Amino acid sequence: GEDVEQSLFLSVREGDSSVINCTYTDSSSTYLYWYKQEPGAGLQLLTYIFSNMDMKQDQRLTVLLNKKDKHLSLRIADTQTGDSAIYFCAESIAGNMLTFGGGTRLMVKP
Partner 1 sequence: GAVVSQHPSRVICKSGTSVKIECRSLDFQATTMFWYRQFPKQSLMLMATSNEGSKATYEQGVEKDKFLINHASLTLSTLTVTSAHPEDSSFYICSATGTSGVDTQYFGPGTRLTVL
Residue 30 near partner 1 by CB under 8 A: yes
Residue 10 near partner 1 by CB under 8 A: no
Residue 87 near partner 1 by CB under 8 A: no
Residue 33 near partner 1 by CB under 8 A: yes
Separation in Å, CA 37 to CA 6, 41, 53, 78, 85 = 15, 6, 25, 19, 6
Nearer to partner 1, 14 or 46 (CB): 46
Contacting partner 1 (CB under 8 A), which of 10, 31, 64, 84?
Answer: 31
DSSP label of 82: G
